[in-house]
Structure 1
Amino acid sequence: MSAPPAVPGLAPAFDVVVRLGPLDDYGITRAGHRRVIPIVGGEISGALEATILPGGADWQVVRPDGALEIDGRYSARTSAGELLYLQVAGVRSGPPDVLAALLAGESVAPDAYYFRTSVRIETSAPAHADLEHAIFVASCVREAASVRYTAYRVT
């Protein structure tokens, strides 16, 4: 029997700024406490350059302990007109007072809470086909009207 592959490393791939619209609170649904935050724009820079298009959203479920389940989906367009579809899934958690401050739009030090996601990319653009064959993980920062993250390619 052969040995399993070595544990992969992480290589910085691109930086993202996602601009957010006002939060819609759906209250308690059959899935839990549902919130939807529209994505109104943003930028991707680094090894990938693109503009995030309005129309996506982050469909969140607030867990009973206050942690958020992240389910973001949005599109971006490169300067060559190529379309990218990004799916972001993860969790944001922390002490109740820190989570309340983030919800209120206050500035909170990123090391005061946990906010990590996985990122998957889908595209028909041959120039970016390698992105569909990679897993990315991200360390995120929530700001008053945006989320910033650096995506790392799992090598």
Structure 2
Amino acid sequence: MPLPTDTDFDLGDLDARDEAELAIKHPSTGEITTWVWTFYGPGHPKTIELANRVSRDALRDLAAQKQARVNGKKWKEEEQSIDHLRADNVASIVARTKTFTPVKISGETISFSPEAAIKLLLDRKKGWLFAQVMEFLKEDENFIHPSAKS
């Protein structure tokens, strides 16, 4: 079967957008709520800065391990608690968060701020929120417009 030769195909149409919105779903019904979070895409400068920082930290750890081996010293991996790992994940999420629409919690309106986002994402009673956000951010497809020609 011959391959299609559509010369109208533009690879640039598949580039990730700089932003995408996640409409938060009710955790038990799956119904879409009116609460929307906006995140920076994979190619946005804030996301690139975050990825570069994480890579630099990993390279620094590898260099320290190598130096320890060269000097005949034992390398002891820094132990991290579950809470520390969760806080690191939340910090990464917040670094990619542009905003969210205001939401009420027990009658109090919460507007976006990095501090408010951290508090919400660290709240163990809202683990479903953390899970939805993580799932959304790990899929680059969420930042690509569906093709009008597909």
TM-score of the two chains, using structure 1 as the length reference:
0.28
Choose between structure 1 and 2: higher strand proportion: 1
The structure with the larger Rg is: 2
Higher relative contact order (CA 8 A, sep 6+): 2
TM-score of the two chains, using structure 2 as the length reference:
0.29
Choose between structure 1 and 2: higher helix proportion: 2
